[in-house]
Chain A
């Protein structure tokens, strides 16, 4: 049982938009910044979004992040088959212990 709650799976057609939610509490998301990671099959996770909505160099603007209260959302537009992956959110908890969401598997139909 993860501290941060994500839907186990989401799906959408190529070219469409999808959002992935990450729900927490005031002891984590509510009072800290959120980052998002993409894990393609068989590979290590890769940073996608940091500080709620910032993209590292090289991450296309099809990927976006937002935060409101104790929840965060990852958005992906113009879906491509190469976006099929597991996505994880994460943040600090009040005890300065890092917590991840359980992960969401994105299927591009």
Chain B
């Protein structure tokens, strides 16, 4: 089955850019949305954004000015860049596959995250 694995530096200095990559194995990255979600220690989940394999993106409005997502279908990977980080960006970062579509019968959007990567802790500190 599809598995996801996050990778990247565990320590980033304040004001610098956090960069993470999610590698998808056991299936193709194509024709799906993929998301990044983070969780500060002891707190809840925060959605960062999603990217389709065409490169189309949606970002959390509260992070939009600092977030860039990209996808490399040849490597079955997608990536996150978060600029101008502060201590508030310290968190476990998860990548996940998104199932999402518009239900024309109800007019509702559906969506769910499955599977998830194991997560990677990123600490922002000098």
> Which residues from chain A sit less than 8 Å from chain B, CB to CB?
2, 31-33, 35, 37, 43-47, 50-51, 56, 88, 90-92, 95-103
9 additional A-B pairs beyond A33-B109, A97-B47, beta carbons within 8 Å, are A37-B113, A44-B94, A44-B116, A47-B113, A90-B111, A92-B100, A97-B61, A98-B60, A103-B44
Name the interface size band of chain B: 20 to 34
Q: Determine how close the nearest CB of chain A comes to the CB of B99; give it in whole angstroms.
A: 7
Q: Is the CB of B45 within 8 A of A33?
A: no
Interface residues of B in 4-48 (CB under 8 A from A): 35, 44-47
Q: Is the CB of B45 within 8 A of A35?
A: no
Pick from B46, B94, B110: contact of A33, CB under 8 Å: B110
Pick from A50, A95, A98, A103: contact of B50, CB under 8 Å: A98
User: Closest chain A residue to B63 by CB distance?
Assistant: A97
The total number of A-B Cβ pairs within 8 Å is: 73
CA distance A56 to B119 in the complex (A): 21
User: Closest chain B residue to A45 by CB distance?
Assistant: B116
| B73 within 8 A of partner (CB) | no
Pick from A32, A35, A56, A99: contact of B47, CB under 8 Å: A99
Given A97-B60, A98-B50, CB of A2 within 8 Å of CB of B44: yes
CA distance A51 to B106 in the complex (A): 12
Q: Is the CB of A98 within 8 A of B47?
A: yes
Q: Give the chain A neighbours of B115 by CB distance below 8 A.
A: 47
User: Closest chain A residue to B45 by CB distance?
Assistant: A100
CA distance A101 to B94 in the complex (A): 17
CA distance A4 to B50 in the complex (A): 20
Could you jot down 15 A-B contacts, CB within 8 Å? A32-B110, A35-B111, A35-B112, A37-B45, A43-B118, A45-B94, A46-B116, A50-B112, A50-B114, A95-B61, A97-B47, A97-B60, A100-B44, A100-B45, A100-B46
